[in-house]
């Protein structure tokens, strides 16, 4: 790999200790802080999920009272989405790896980057501390009016939730500006569009979506805060649909904000672990950007029972089905990459296969619900809960763990224990399906979502019991991951490039030095490290 010498600028930096973390503007340290923060929130929201599942394990349980139950699923959904999945993928992996993968020494605006992190952490703490001390919202993560108006949610908990999400939106919008500028202007010489790594393409598309979608949600949140506190009337009277339009204009794209980076991760890992180039690279890139654009055309599919004009509903039914096309293209490309490859079946690849198997199920139930008549039947039932967990857990969470096993050695310099990794994967895969597959049937049998308990004799007992057992199996598998992570310090040394990777992050030490690259590399293909290995004669 050729390279260019550019002097490393000196930064006045606090070198070590706690202050070194608090005052850091290094994208890698900020990335690690995002990861630790998000993972902690994942555990918190996971504990809430276990309480929810305990309460539903059998009819007429009294683990928590109905009010607490509402608060629990509201916070579970909000934390999983806003404080775990998005900050882990975008803030964590995006921050750590985008500069390394494009051959840059940092992001374009390092101080703004630190600001985005601290505002995100601050917002998260406000929401969680509010929750712990009893200032709780119970209007679900969707905060639909009129539930979220002063008449139905008079307490401060709702305001805290609203302000928390506004602050999170500011953090993620600033982060998006930073990523776009970084990818646009700081790529290594020679890194033309088709040579940009798949994860970076995914992150740039995601950043574009964040930039377009988040301001609409932020505006809606401000309007609701004003309605609640300053007697404005944006959402009162018959303006229920207005909230739903503004909310889903952000929150449908948010699904892709959570899935595109995970798809980027899978597109990085599968070629490396199949020892083949990515099949149809350009088709994958074009599909990524298309998903980003089409993601903005489908939001009304959440509103098929809200009284929208039927002609408009039909348009959105069509667009929702169309978005399955670029998604299908990607799935075929991943399968074609795996096909005939010499598979290295280590944990990162297993997690990707878990992603593929489960995400496809979520995608199919998604297309089913795009159909207006079917959606009107399953709307607000457990079928929906099954569907979006297949997408968000089966997709994003498997992608996140794939990334942790794949890039963990780069971040820490140590290898995970493969045996524990495999145990984690299989137990999580089984636990996940045991938890969420029965929910499809519960939904079809008429069990509504967001109910705190149910009477016996409706045929829902077995499905709920099985689902709760599965949830504890997931928790056990995550415990194995935590043990594996704690054991890392005694792990085998990773070296620079333990997987024989393709992209630039594997050309530097593990963990990388603060300046990333002593000399800026130049790039001649979409697999610069593969090229370098080909040039070095084997000994
Ligand atoms: C750790 C395993 C998990 C379990 C056992 C679990 C369980 C549940 C259950 C039972 C509900 C329905 C509550 C109800 O409608 O009464 C729910 C809702 C929800 N979950 Fe999960 N979940 C898990 C992980 C996740 C993940 C990883 C995400 C997102 C990345 C997520 C996002 C949501 C959302 C958005 C809701 C809707 C909340 C609402 O209705 O406002 N969950 N979860
Ligand atoms: Cu949607």
| Ligand 1, atom nearest to 392 Cα | 30
Which of 308, 209, 287, 206 shows the shortest CA–CA distance to 249?
209
Distance 468 CA to ligand 1 centre (A): 12
- Measuring CA to CA, how many Å separate 200 from each of 171, 197, 261, 340? 20, 5, 8, 26
Which of 133, 48, 135, 134 shows the shortest CA–CA distance to 83?
48
Ligand nearest to the CA of 442: 1
What distance lies between CA 139 and its chain's CA centroid? 22
| Ligand 1, atom nearest to 397 Cα | 27
At residue 218, the pLDDT reads 97
Those residues whose C-beta lies under 8 Å from the C-beta of residue 97, and which sit 6 or more positions away, are: 31, 199, 407, 505
CA angle at residue 30 from 173 to 272, to 5 degrees? 95
At residue 15, the pLDDT reads 66
Question: pLDDT tens across 38-81, in order?
Answer: 999 999 999 999 999 999 999 999 999 999 999 999 999 999 99
Give the C-alpha separation, 391 to 490, whole Å: 35
Question: Which pair of tokens denotes residue 244?
Answer: 């739903």
Strands 3-4 and 520-521: antiparallel
Question: pLDDT tens across 286-335, in order?
Answer: 999 999 999 999 999 999 999 999 999 999 999 999 999 999 999 999 99
- Measuring CA to CA, how many Å separate 468 from each of 141, 277, 365, 432, 474? 22, 41, 22, 11, 10
Task: Evaluate if residue 472 carries a pLDDT over 60.
Answer: yes
Question: How many Cα atoms occupy the beta-carbon half-sphere of 324 within 13 Å?
Answer: 17
Q: Tokens 């609203």 appear where?
A: 162
With 0-12 CB in 10 A as exposed, 13-18 as middle and 19+ as buried, what is 493? exposed
Average pLDDT of 247-256? 97
Distance 57 CA to ligand 2 centre (A): 29
At residue 1, the pLDDT reads 58
Question: How many Cα atoms occupy the beta-carbon half-sphere of 177 within 13 Å?
Answer: 14
| Ligand 1, atom nearest to 258 Cα | 30
- Measuring CA to CA, how many Å separate 373 from each of 402, 475, 532? 37, 36, 55
Average pLDDT of 24-43? 97
Distance 298 CA to ligand 2 centre (A): 6
Ligand nearest to the CA of 72: 1
Distance 314 CA to ligand 2 centre (A): 15
Average pLDDT of 177-202? 97
Asked if residue 422 lies in contact with residue 284, where contact means CB atoms within 8 angstroms, the answer is no
Question: Which pair of tokens denotes residue 504?
Answer: 């630039």
| Ligand 1, atom nearest to 449 Cα | 15
Distance 452 CA to ligand 1 centre (A): 14
Question: How many Cα atoms occupy the beta-carbon half-sphere of 512 within 13 Å?
Answer: 30
At residue 533, the pLDDT reads 87
The values of phi and psi at residue 520, to 5°, are -75, 125
Least confident of 9-23, 256-270, 454-468, 520-534: 9-23
- What residue owns the CA closest to ligand 1's atom 22? 49
């Amino acid at each position: 790999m050729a390279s260019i010498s550019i002097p490393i600028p000196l930064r006045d930096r606090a070198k070590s200790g706690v202050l070194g973390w608090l005052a850091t503007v290094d994208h890698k340290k900020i990335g690690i802080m995002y990861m630790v923060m998000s993972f902690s929130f994942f555990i918190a929201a996971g504990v809430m999920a276990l309480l929810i599942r305990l309460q539903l394990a059998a009819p007429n349980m009294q683990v928590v009272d109905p009010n607490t139950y509402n608060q629990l699923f509201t916070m579970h959904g909000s934390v999983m989405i806003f404080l775990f999945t998005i900050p882990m993928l975008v803030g964590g992996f995006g921050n750590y790896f985008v500069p390394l993968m494009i051959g840059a020494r940092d992001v374009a605006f390092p101080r703004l980057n630190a600001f985005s992190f601290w505002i995100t952490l601050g917002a998260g703490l406000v929401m969680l501390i509010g929750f712990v001390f009893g200032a709780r919202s119970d209007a679900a993560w969707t905060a639909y009016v009129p539930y979220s108006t002063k008449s139905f949610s008079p307490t401060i908990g709702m305001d805290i939730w609203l302000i928390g999400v506004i602050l999170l939106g500011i953090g993620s919008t600033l982060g998006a500006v930073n990523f776009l500028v970084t990818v646009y202007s700081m790529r290594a010489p020679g890194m033309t569009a088709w040579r940009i790594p798949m994860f970076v393409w995914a992150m740039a598309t995601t950043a574009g979506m964040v930039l377009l979608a988040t301001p609409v949600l932020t505006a809606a949140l401000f309007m609701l805060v004003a309605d609640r506190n300053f007697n404005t009337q944006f959402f009162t009277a018959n303006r229920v649909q207005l909230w739903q339009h503004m909310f889903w204009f952000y929150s449908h794209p948010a699904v892709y904000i959570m899935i595109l980076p995970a798809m980027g991760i899978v597109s990085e890992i599968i070629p490396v672990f199949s020892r083949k180039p990515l099949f149809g690279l350009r088709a994958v890139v074009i599909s990524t950007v298309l998903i980003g654009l089409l993601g903005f055309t489908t939001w009304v599919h959440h509103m098929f029972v809200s009284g929208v004009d039927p002609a408009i509903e039909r348009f959105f039914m069509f667009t929702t089905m169309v978005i399955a096309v670029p998604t299908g293209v990607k799935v075929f490309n991943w399968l074609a990459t795996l096909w005939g490859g010499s598979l290295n079946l280590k944990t990162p690849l297993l997690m990707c296969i878990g992603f593929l198997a489960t995400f496809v199920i979520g995608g199919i139930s998604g297309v089913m619900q795009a159909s207006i008549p079917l959606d009107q039947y399953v709307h607000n039932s457990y079928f929906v809960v099954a569907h979006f967990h297949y997408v968000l857990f089966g997709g994003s969470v498997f992608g996140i763990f794939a990334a942790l096993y794949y890039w963990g050695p780069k971040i820490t310099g140590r290898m995970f224990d493969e045996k524990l990794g495999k145990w984690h994967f299989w137990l999580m895969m089984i636990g996940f399906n045991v938890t969420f597959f029965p929910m499809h049937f519960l939904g079809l049998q008429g069990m509504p979502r967001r109910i705190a308990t149910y009477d016996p004799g409706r045929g829902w007992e077995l499905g709920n019991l099985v689902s709760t057992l599965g949830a504890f199996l997931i928790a056990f598998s995550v415990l194995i991951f935590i043990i594996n992570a704690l054991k890392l310090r005694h792990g085998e040394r990773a070296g620079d490039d333990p997987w024989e990777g393709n992209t630039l992050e594997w050309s530097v030490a593990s963990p990388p030095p603060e300046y990333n690259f002593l000399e800026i590399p130049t790039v001649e293909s979409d697999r610069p490290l593969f090229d370098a290995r080909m040039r070095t004669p084997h000994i």
